[in-house]
Amino acid sequence: MDWLGYGYAALITIGGIVGYAKAGSFISLVAGLMFGVAALVGAYQMSKNDKDIWVSLGTSGSLTALMGVRFLSSWKIMPAGFMAGASLLMFLRIGVKVLQSSQKKRS
């Protein structure tokens, strides 16, 4: 089970809902739900097959870039910096998994 992936999906979804509730941002709600569902699908796929990383990698990579740009333009930790950091950690985690599996193939 990819518990970190499922937690990441929940974090994204809850972030979108909170953004809508606090600031009335409908775009935050839609983006949070869309990216949250994509992260959920990615976590499910990785739970079934460790090599099925593409949805998770695309979701975390996209959010790293999107929220990273927002953080660099505003320098606000919440929510842009936090989500950029969480997404970067998820992206790196998947990258490490890929490297570890390629090392195992060589052995």
Domain ranges of the chain: 3-106
Q: What is the pLDDT of residue 43?
A: 96
pLDDT value at 19 more than 90 = yes
pTM to 2 decimal places: 0.91
pLDDT (average), residues 28-54: 95
Of the candidates 38, 48, 42, 31, the one whose C-alpha atom is nearest the C-alpha of residue 93 is 42
For residues 74 and 51, what is the distance between their CA atoms, to the nearest angstrom?
36
Q: What is the pLDDT of residue 107?
A: 64
pLDDT (average), residues 29-56: 95
Q: CATH says 3-106 is which class?
A: mainly alpha
